[in-house]
């Protein structure tokens, strides 16, 4: 009789960053539904979900240090490293202030949280799973999204390097590259495209959904279900990989 690997997360401690947004909130719900003890953080003052919540502004070095101390206390088995921000601009007009904001959150803070979780897992001498949120934008440049694309390419590269460095400790590191996912952030993204491309509000969102090979935008739960797979023993022999959850937008 087949002894299938479980997706049950009972007994695992899962940390979700960027938990207030669509993908993060869905990950919290999925992890909790499968029995995990879930901890969550974001910049919002409060959080309505099945998790113990702490607010940290990851752009602030003091808060980032406090977050690292918190991580050492909760001793996560799983990290869903999801916090990120978005901005637009070409290489002609994307200024260094935008560069600093995006790289501070999407790369610097992302790396600090990943490092703190990895250090905790090694100190506890237990296997773990780190799941980093990349993007389809990390696989190719886009004319209007120069800085954001570069930050997500960095996430993919750090995922590979961390996976190789942590393999001896039985810590798996993988990434998820969402495509166009229908989250609250897309209202901001759509407004930015309306400004840069002269489109009506809602037009870009409709166009990108129709352009997906599967014919529609994804949902946060589409990403969260892959996060469950990577958090569970179902993916026990996977590390250093980036899984595209994009309806076929990126062919790899």
C-alpha span between 72 and 89 (Å, rounded): 37
Q: Would residue 237 show up in a list of annotated catalytic residues for this protein?
A: no
| Strand arrangement, sheet containing 128-133 | 52-55, 37-42, 13-17, 78-81, 128-133, 171-178, 242-245
C-beta contacts of 138-145 below 8 A and 24+ residues apart: 138/177, 138/242, 139/177, 139/244, 139/250, 139/252, 140/250, 143/90, 144/88, 144/89, 144/90, 144/193, 144/196, 144/197, 145/88, 145/89
C-beta atoms surrounding 188 within 10 Å:
14
Q: Between helices 146-166 and 96-103, what is the axis angle to 10°? A: 30
The full length of the chain comes to: 252
Collect all residues with Cβ–Cβ distance below 8 Å to 235 and sequence separation of at least 6.
129, 172, 174, 229
C-alpha span between 35 and 33 (Å, rounded): 6
Kindly name the residue from 53, 148, 158, 237 that is annotated as catalytic. Answer: 148
Q: Catalytic amino acids?
A: 148
């Amino acid at each position: 009789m087949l002894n299938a690997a479980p997706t049950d997360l009972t007994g695992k401690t899962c940390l979700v960053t960027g938990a207030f947004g669509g993908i993060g909130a869905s990950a919290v719900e999925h992890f909790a539904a499968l029995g995990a003890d879930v901890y969550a953080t974001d910049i919002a003052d409060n959080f309505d979900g099945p998790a113990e919540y702490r607010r940290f502004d990851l752009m602030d070095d003091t808060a980032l240090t406090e977050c690292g101390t918190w991580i050492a206390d909760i001793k996560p088995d799983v990290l869903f490293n999801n916090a990120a921000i978005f901005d637009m601009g070409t290489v002609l007009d994307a200024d260094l202030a935008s560069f600093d904001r995006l790289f501070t959150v999407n790369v610097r803070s992302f790396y600090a949280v990943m490092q703190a979780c990895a250090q905790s897992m090694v100190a506890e001498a237990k296997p773990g799973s780190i799941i980093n949120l990349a993007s389809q934008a990390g696989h190719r440049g886009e004319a209007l999204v120069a800085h954001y694309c570069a930050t997500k390419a960095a996430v993919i590269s750090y995922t590979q390097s961390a996976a190789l460095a942590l393999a001896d400790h039985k810590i798996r590191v993988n990434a998820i590259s969402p495509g166009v996912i229908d989250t609250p952030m897309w209202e901001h993204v759509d407004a930015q495209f309306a400004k840069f491309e002269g489109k009506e509000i809602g037009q870009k969102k409709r166009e990108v959904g129709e352009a997906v090979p599967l014919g529609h935008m994804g949902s946060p739960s589409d990403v969260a279900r892959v996060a469950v797979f990577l958090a569970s023993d179902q993916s026990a022999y996977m590390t250093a990989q980036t899984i595209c959850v994009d309806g076929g937008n990126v062919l790899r």
